[in-house]
Structure 1
């Protein structure tokens, strides 16, 4: 038996009997909360489509390209900086709750870290106002303001997500996702009457802060007290947070380069009709990202659950949950790929209108890449639960680097290059992450 396995087994033996007795309480999830998480996850994806279809049909492919750049840029920055915060809080709080420790030191440390990062990135974006406005948004300053506001809002949103996931309050997490999508659509409704990129930008930014507030206003927010129910305070110095958060930031950045980097690379490369081409790439990518939206809710429960299993030495259950989740998501992505092959071009035209064109083969390739991306994301959660974030970061960065290199080097049409590069990069990340999970198994 490996040293790691002996350590985990010894740790499990030292868990007090009163914690063992509390296991059914900790592991049980209220069905209504699980249902709300499912509803919030599905609604978040559906409402994202509603917003983008509304914006695309109102603005047309050229101006919509700027909104696509805002969306991609905001989530690239926000996920790069704040998803590691979510994962750090979720894993550390779940571990503390599983060991019957008071998680308030974890929450304070993470809050200070998150606030500092939010202020720093806001200042950097404000200092780069001119280049961002002219380079990405075609001189539309309102979109730059929305970018800064949205990134700051998602700083708060991802912190709340991590707290909800860590205490396994999945109803609160689902409510956050639901509010995020609903607010964006409601604020964007004037687009039915006026083709205004400013209205679309405000809607994108408003969703970030509104989603963060929603769980804190709900009558069931007392579930957050689970984080403070332990008898002894947990230990979580800033150095421990940084050691987990830094490789998690590499993971988040690599994920966003893969899933959102295509339109940005098109705009950066420039050339005739670059904005229109970026709009088409963004629209097609969004069309096939339904499984990625679904994974938001799955990840919210998967990481804290796997962390709880690992903390208690239940490695077999953690492994089974990882494999079953990956298989289910891969099957979903396969269905999407078949649908893209059969109906992809027609769906693009029906949803987005004239000017949004892509071949069925390229759409199917992109959908298969989504399957690889989801498999990689699932097995990544297993490595994070084992505190092997550095190894996971290495796997993800290899996939992201391959995506960028191929997109810049391949010949052919813009969307064809993006589809192939995304599929290869995602599959490479998936294969290396799966191999790493098997290699590090206790």
Structure 2
């Protein structure tokens, strides 16, 4: 006999979980920002640009091939728990994650020469490959934690990762180590350091489960071909979403690097840190939002579903307005203080990135609603269109100043994306995802 459906998480439990996760990821955003700020002071512009390029490509890889499985695992576990049915099988996410990691390795080795030439270092190439493979395990753990709403563990994992990463440029800054390789090794060490949290965390929770402090999950049913096909479809749709999102964040850096070199690419990268840092902060909200919404959708909690979206969008609007105002007043001064770049950042351009960041965050929230309602394909289409518009804008030299072109294009593309996902959210009949 199937168990009775579990009651959806109440707003208080969701809010507490989001707050716990926010503390971990907020600190992570600060440490990530600090990593590049310290690196910019310890490396030459060309060396810093290469490290920034390495991180940009790695972040694209992580987001496109690993984040989908994190989201799949999170949604599947949350839906299963909400319905009170059999425990979700991990076989499908494991197969997909392993396949993505193997595909990455094959492609990376095939393009070893061009990547080494672009990074100007064989060592940086192997750092890139090693870090990308290690993140496969790290992102799987994130999805498992999120699906069970173990947000404190999730926050601890990403916090431990970011602390390990920043230790390397700090070591260079104080004279313990030296050179570009020492700074870049922090990117490789970070995912391995994060995995040190996983065994202890799982042992602790298994002990609590054995003691009866946690509900014991029924045995999982074997994953069939239909489940694998559905999981792969969801993961591929989310992969397209992640590819488009990383295009929005990184295509400006990549196109500028190709046409003007690493130094100017580093300048553009710094400007887009205005968007990256808050996006990393609000990743905590999005991470906790998907399992929460999936549970509500599975148990017909429509009013609570809409309320969660509304509250999140209002919070984002206030946050983005405050950031944009701060950029108008102190933006150029702050950039000069934080980054060792002899470049005159315009306050209006920085404010444009701030407004675009607000649209981007709202789009991310609406995207989680679409995933919870089984509209992953529609969401993917919206993201791909928004990203394509930005790519065309960056390639066509409508504005000669490449930084200004990137700033204004990002604002326009993010606004378009937000409008498209609003239409996805408001239209059609929700399709309940299978557990």
Task: Give the alignment's TM-score, normalised by structure 1.
Answer: 0.89
In the alignment, which of 339, 345, 363 is matched to residue 376 of structure 1? 363
1:416 aligns with 2:415: no
* Alignment coverage as a number of residue pairs: 420
Runs of 5+ unmatched residues, structure 1: 1-14
Residue aligned with 2:374, SS: coil
Q: Distance in 1 between matches of 2:69 and 2:12?
A: 25
Structure 1 residue aligned with 2:427? 439
Contact 1:74 / 1:151 at 8 angstroms: preserved in 2? yes
Alignment partner of 1:83 is 2:67: yes
Distance (whole Å) between structure 1 residues aligned to residue 180 and residue 380 of structure 2:
36
Q: In structure 2, list runs of 5 or more residues that go unmatched.
A: 431-435
Offset, 1:27:
7.6
Deviations 1:236-267 (A, max 9, x none): 63111111111111001001100222211211
Q: Which residue of 2 aligns with 1:285?
A: 272
Asked if structure 2 preserves the Cα contact closer than 8 Å seen for 1:177 and 1:211, the reply is: yes
Structure-2 change in CA distance of 1:87 and 1:214 (3 Å): same
> How far, CA to CA, are the matches of 1:27 and 1:345 in structure 2?
40
Aligned to 2:283: 296
Match of 2:124 in 1: 143
Using the size of structure 2 for normalisation, the TM-score is 0.90
Equivalent residue number for residue 347 of structure 2: 360
Aligned partners of 1:34 and 1:171 also within 8 Å: no
- 1:265-414 correspondence runs (5 A): 265-268=255-258, 270-271=259-260, 274-409=261-396, 410-414=398-402
2:7 aligns to what SS in structure 1? helix
Pick one of 160, 164, 178 that aligns with 1:183.
164
1:306/1:227 CA distance change after superposition, 3 Å: farther
Structure 1 residue matching 2:300: 3-state secondary structure: coil
Aligned match for 1:199, one of 177, 182, 206: 182
CA distance in 2, matches of 1:45, 1:427: 23
Go from structure 1 to structure 2 and tell me whether the alpha carbon gap of 1:74 and 1:362 turns closer, same or farther (over 3 Å shift): same
The DSSP-based 3-state class of the residue aligned with 2:399 is coil
Query: Following TM superposition, by how much is the alpha carbon of 1:379 offset from its aligned partner in structure 2, in angstroms?
Result: 0.2
Deviations, residues 129-187 of structure 1 (Å, cap 9, x unaligned): 1100112x1x2111111111111121111111111111111111111111111110123
Deviations 1:80-104 (A, max 9, x none): 1111111111111111111223335
Distance 1:42 1:313, change over 3 A: same
Q: Report the Cα distance in structure 1 between the residues aligned to 2:106 and 2:207, rounded to whole angstroms.
A: 35
Correspondent of 2:245 among 237, 255, 260? 255
The CA RMSD over aligned residues, in Å, is: 2.4
How far is 1:224 from its partner? 10
